[in-house]
Chain A
Amino acid sequence: MAAARAWPYAVTRGATSGYQAIVAPAFLTQAGQAYVLEYASRQETSEPGAVTVRDVVGATEEPLSLAYRVLEVRADRYALGGTDPLEDSAGRAIRVFEGLVLRLPAERVPSIGLTAADLDAVTAATAPAFRKLWAAGSRIEPEASPALSVGGAARESPLSVRISVPYVVPGISAERGPARPGRTRPTAKRGPAPRGRTRLTIAVAAACVLAALLAWFLIKSSPASPEAIVQQMCSELSSGDVNAAYQQFSPAYRNATSQQAFQTTLLGSNAKASCTPTMTAADRATVSLRWADGTVRNAVLDLQQEAGRWQITSMNVSP
């Protein structure tokens, strides 16, 4: 097992003051990041002295993890006189979260082989700050901790550690943390999106869908205008698509006039003719057809709306 460098830290409270980091690595205090020790240290188990290890994601660029234990402390532990359990003004036990800050991913911490002596060294390193807090009765400035060499001891059996969920600085993606395949990284708990915003999003989405449906329906279902029908027919005659031009006529017209008769009337023996449409009324148009030999045929077309679409219902052709 290889030794590693680690920095002692402790988070605790006084009889009349709240939880705070009383000892922290200088690299965290100087970066204004000592608060992560206070928020990342939480009691995971009631088993006394159990060591919890967790990643701290988002506080520093390099990997950072904590290995700590939680203890309800007695006065003699800090040479405060007597052996009574320490209590706050509300008669609650004083808990100390004490441990080590490591610049390693949590998953590598078990391989270091932390020992009881390593954590006892933390107690020794943090005791003066605890006494200072107890005497002050109010918040104190955290003291900088020196780096220690921990783990790697062959003579002492390593402590069993419990790797817990990472602590993620709010607003930081958990993906910034060291990779740990196969493990889900929880993100900081967030509340649901504001209801007003959700409703607005839904309303906008619904409006877009309705608008799209409306546009589609209008394009798909609206009957083409008489002018468009005549224009279409002209284009088809100009391109030689006689069948398509014939389909612009009503069923009644097509029943009465065969496609062959239609073609002969309009085109003679030509396959196509240049065609110029002119609307003379809302439901009447004339088309001028010029054959390849220069012959001109004029046709008067009447249109009616049938079954929701405009159709040509009659045609009179003059030479």
Chain B
Amino acid sequence: MEVFILLILVATVVIWIARRRKRAKETLELTLAVVGFEASGKTVYIGSMFNELRVPDASGVFLDTSAENAGRLLALYNTTADTDKKFPDSTSKGELIEWPFTVKVKLATGVTEIGRFSYLDFAGESLRDLYTAASNPETRLLQDRFLGADILMAALDGLQVKRFLENRPLPGFYDDLGTLLSVLSNHHQPVNLILTKWDILEDDYTFRQVVERLLQINTFANFVRSQRVLGTCRLIPVSSVGPGFVQEVGDSMRKVRGKLINPVRVEVPVTCALPDALIAQRRKPASAGRSRLLTWAKFMKLNFGVLQIDFSSVGSASATVSPAQSTPAAVSQLIRYCTSKLHRLESEFPESDLVGFIQQRRM
């Protein structure tokens, strides 16, 4: 019997050590979905985002994917960039695609793989089918994918928003916005909103004006209030093509021949996603031990800084995530990269933190 007990103890210790070592090496795997209606810019965005992040800057953080996928994504980007060509084809319902990416960090010691995420691109009109058409297996599958995503973001079409600001909203604007927010509301994680086509808005409106007008839509304001419990909901202005690349022709957008593409902030939504998701998980009561994100953060020795859960209407809920001294260097680098992007966004666009903004305005 003693021998048996000894064996069990030894086995337990060996398993514990093995699991610990495995987890220490474990990479983060997340699924990321960007929901948005047709022509909101999801496909163009993914091409520009990959192009922006495929080569590391001083931080050493970059994205990688298979050679085949990289080729397809760069073809998307090149088609977008070529002013003699039309924008890439709209994604049809049958062309749903999940782009797999690997997050890597280049260090003095070599290149370290930190995590993987997949980006779900789909025909935006399928979103409308969730609520307006009879349910079918495809829409149910899509909804499951949204609900199962670790990080959910929504693309708000900048052209549609502009028409709304001009008091001539395009047909279906309010219905579509309601559908979008409804999909997001069913998700258990914090969501960020990507305001696409910022280049056609920024000449005529300040970001604050855009936020204030959007918050005049009751559904939108209520949605932001509902996100307070998760602590964050950002509106991130991005341009997948950059200023002056397109011009409006009636209700359409056309490329300006000879203009150079210069994407703006396309990396920010993805980089905001990790700190926001970590903080939101940390806020959830009794979430420790159940969340993959928190388990990963625990093994990577990430610190959660100032955490205030503020359910009142006064004061902003703030939180930070930072690496500890013993955090692996590559993870530290990634966290610093993400938080620096976040701080820069909040510095340039303080209203981008919608939850903070409505609390500040006591809305």
Contact = CB atoms under 8 A, between A and B. Distances in A.
B348 interface: no
A89 B290 CA distance: 45
Given A18-B37, A32-B134, A95-B90, A90 B252 contact: yes
Given A89-B251, A89-B252, A11 B90 contact: no
Contacts of B171: 16, 137-138
A93 B89 contact: yes
Contact of B140 (A97, A139, A170, A217): A170
Given A32-B134, A90-B253, A170-B140, A11 B125 contact: no
Interface stretch (A34-42, A75-83, A270-278): A34-42
Interface in A54-87: 85, 87
Contact of B94 (A167, A191, A196, A214): A167
Contacts of B255: 91
Contact of B136 (A32, A92, A97, A191): A32
Contacts of B253: 89-91
B136 A11 contact: no
Given A18-B123, A39-B138, A222-B1, A90 B39 contact: yes
What's the interface size class on B, roughly? 35 or more
B38 A13 contact: yes
B141 A188 contact: yes
B92 A35 contact: no
B131 to A, nearest CB: 13
A11 B124 CA distance: 15
A16 B251 CA distance: 9
Given A88-B39, A191-B148, A217-B4, A42 B87 contact: no
Residue picked from A39, A137, A217, most chain B C-beta under 10 Å: A39
A170 B139 CA distance: 10
A43 interface: yes
A175 to B, nearest CB: 17
B86 interface: yes
Nearest to A189: B98
A108 interface: no
Contacts of B129: 35
B4, B37, B254: most-surrounded residue (chain A CB, <10 A): B4
Nearest to A217: B4
B128 interface: yes
Interface string B134-158: 1011111100010010000000000
A138 B128 CA distance: 12
A43 B126 CA distance: 17
B95 interface: yes
Nearest to B118: A191
A13 B94 contact: no
B307 interface: no
Contacts of B341: none
Contacts, number: 115
Given A89-B251, A90-B252, A91-B87, A195 B39 contact: no
A194 B128 CA distance: 27
A16 B90 contact: no
B159 interface: yes
B137 A87 contact: no
Nearest to B125: A18
A269 interface: no
Contacts of A221: 1, 3-4
B93 interface: yes
A17 interface: yes
B145 to A, nearest CB: 7
A169 interface: yes
Given A18-B124, A188-B141, A221-B1, A43 B254 contact: no
Interface in A100-144: 137-139
Contacts of A91: 86-87, 246, 252-255
A92 B90 contact: yes
Interface in A212-245: 214, 217, 221-222
Contacts of A15: 252
B292 interface: yes
A194 B292 CA distance: 11
Contacts of A194: 148
A262 interface: no
Given A91-B87, A191-B145, A169 B94 contact: no
A188 B88 CA distance: 26
A194 B4 CA distance: 35
B170 interface: yes
Interface in A1-27: 11, 13, 15-20
B94 A41 contact: yes
A87 B89 contact: no
A139 B292 CA distance: 41
A11 B137 CA distance: 19
Interface string A178-214: 0000000000110100111000000000000000001
B110 interface: no
A19 B90 contact: yes
A171 interface: yes
B57 to A, nearest CB: 30
Contacts of B37: 18
Contact of A171 (B124, B133, B137): B137
A20 B125 contact: yes
Contact of A88 (B4, B90, B137, B145): B90
Contact of B93 (A38, A170, A217): A38
A35 B138 contact: yes
12 contacts: A16-B39, A18-B38, A18-B123, A35-B129, A35-B136, A38-B94, A89-B159, A90-B90, A90-B159, A92-B86, A92-B88, A137-B171
Interface of B: 1, 3-4, 31, 37-39, 41, 86-90, 92-95, 98, 123-126, 128-129, 132-134, 136-141, 145, 148, 159, 170-172, 246, 251-255, 290, 292
Q: Report the 8 A-B pairs with minimum CB-CB distance, sorted nearest first.
A: A18-B125, A42-B94, A170-B137, A18-B38, A90-B39, A38-B93, A170-B141, A92-B87
Given A39-B138, A196-B290, 8 more contacts: A13-B38, A16-B39, A42-B94, A43-B95, A91-B253, A93-B86, A191-B145, A195-B292
